[in-house]
Every structure is written in C-alpha cells, then in structure tokens.
Chains A and B, each alone.
Chain A
Amino acid sequence: AQSVTQLGSHVSVSEGALVLLRCNYSSSVPPYLFWYVQYPNQGLQLLLKYTTGATLVKGINGFEAEFKKSETSFHLTKPSAHMSDAAEYFCAVSGRGYSTLTFGKGTMLLVSP
C-alpha cells in the first residue's frame, strides 16, 4: 500500500524567492516518485521523476527534487520563483513493478510580484 502527504495546500512566495514544496510518502516496496504540475484548466505535466540511481533529480523549468529514503521525503525545490510557476503541484508514488500512481492532495503555488 502506498500513500502521499503533501504539507500545505497552498504555498505563497514572492517572485525570485526559493520555492519549496514538501512531499512525504509511504510505500511497502521501493518507490518510484514523481512530481506533476497542473496549470489552470489543463492536464498534468510531468516535472521530474525518481526511479533509481542519483537521488537528486532535475526536471523541467528549473525544478529539482531529492529522494531521501531515511526521511521518506521527495521535496520539490526551485531556486528562484517565476510568475509562470503559479500552478497546482502533485506528488505521486508508484511501487516498482506496477504502474498505478497514488497522488497527494496537491499544493497550490502562488507567486506574487
């Protein structure tokens, strides 16, 4: 069984500030971890994923995330927020060997000028 907890349903940052979106997971098997972004009235777009290997993964639009097994975390960061980053962000987990995604409840990122 798997679950995902995203801390904070809303995160507000100023343009140029650090973005940190938190994700903790629970999985009975080694996990695959994902971050997806959803812009208003659009589908989900994959930002980045962790499967195996390097625990720091880089994604699109300057985002990156670090898999920390000891903390069961996969937090998403970006050094400098841009207005265009305002969107809903979903963390998801999948168990290795099968492909069902379990999503967190999402975090809305608000970016102010």
Chain B
Amino acid sequence: DTAVSQTPKYLVTQMGNDKSIKCEQNLGHDTMYWYKQDSKKFLKIMFSYNNKELIINETVPNRFSPKSPDKAHLNLHINSLELGDSAVYFCASSQTVLVEQYFGPGTRLTVT
C-alpha cells in the first residue's frame, strides 16, 4: 500500500500548455511538500502546506499554483509551461513534530 503516491509518473507536453500533478498520502500526516529536482539531481523545496494552509512558498514563478483540498492531497498546477520547467517533481509528507519526510516516486515532466 503506497504511502505517498503521485500521478502521473511521466508527463510530456508542449510549451504553453497547462498541466497538473496530483499527490496523495495515506500516512495521516499534516504537512505536505512539493520539491523540484533538476537535471543535475539538485532538490529544492517549492511549497509546503500544513493542515491545508500554505506555510512555505519559495521563489517560484506564479505560474505554479499548489492546491490542497484536504490534508491528504496536495496538487500542483502549472500554467504556460516553459522548457525550463522540465524536471522531476517530488511530493513529500511529514508529521510536523517528527520532521522526517516521506517522498513519493516522482513525476518526470518533459516540456518540448
């Protein structure tokens, strides 16, 4: 039973399109995150939600909009996709006080 799941696993799209990535966790955690891993494998936090409220918003273009319908879900919508958005996007979750984060399998986004 997958703890943190993401859909889709692969996403290939053209510049200018709008796309969404979905994330769900069944661990009962109250905090969820989106990370971006670039082509050099560098991981950087994008957003964090705690109990459906945005608590961390790093310097990310406003074309990226996270949405958390409930504590178990955190989706990422990207408008007007650009070549530089090509990366692997990871969702993660944690129980705040424990800090330890559990990662999803990633979504490889390729913008052509």
A43 near B105 (CB under 8 angstroms)?
yes
Q: Which of B94, B96, B99, B103 contacts A44 (CB 8 A)?
A: B103
A38 CA to B35 CA, complexed, in Å: 14
B56 near A49 (CB under 8 angstroms)?
no
A49 near B100 (CB under 8 angstroms)?
yes
Does A74 touch B at the CB level, under 8 Å? no
8 Å CB interface, B68-112 against A? 90, 92, 94, 96, 99-106
CB distance from A14 to the nearest CB of B (A): 24
B96 near A99 (CB under 8 angstroms)?
yes
Does B15 touch A at the CB level, under 8 Å? no
A41 CA to B106 CA, complexed, in Å: 8
CB distance from B50 to the nearest CB of A (A): 9
A51 CA to B94 CA, complexed, in Å: 15
Q: Mark B42-81, 1 if CB is under 8 A from A, else 0.
A: 1111001000000010000000000000000000000000
Q: Which of A46, A94, A99, A103 contacts B43 (CB 8 A)?
A: A103
8 Å CB interface, A64-105 against B? 88, 90, 94, 99-103, 105
Does B31 touch A at the CB level, under 8 Å? yes
Q: Mark A31-60, 1 if CB is under 8 A from B, else 0.
A: 010101010011111100101000000000
Residues of A at under 8 Å CB distance from B? 32, 34, 36, 38, 41-46, 49, 51, 88, 90, 94, 99-103, 105-106
Q: 6 closest Cβ contacts across the A-B interface?
A: A44-B103, A43-B103, A103-B43, A43-B105, A106-B41, A99-B99
Identify 21 residue pairs between A and B in the complex whose beta-carbon atoms are under 8 Å apart, listed by A's number. Answer: A36-B103, A42-B105, A42-B106, A43-B90, A43-B103, A43-B104, A43-B106, A46-B100, A46-B102, A51-B99, A90-B43, A99-B48, A99-B94, A99-B96, A99-B99, A99-B101, A101-B101, A103-B43, A103-B44, A105-B40, A106-B42
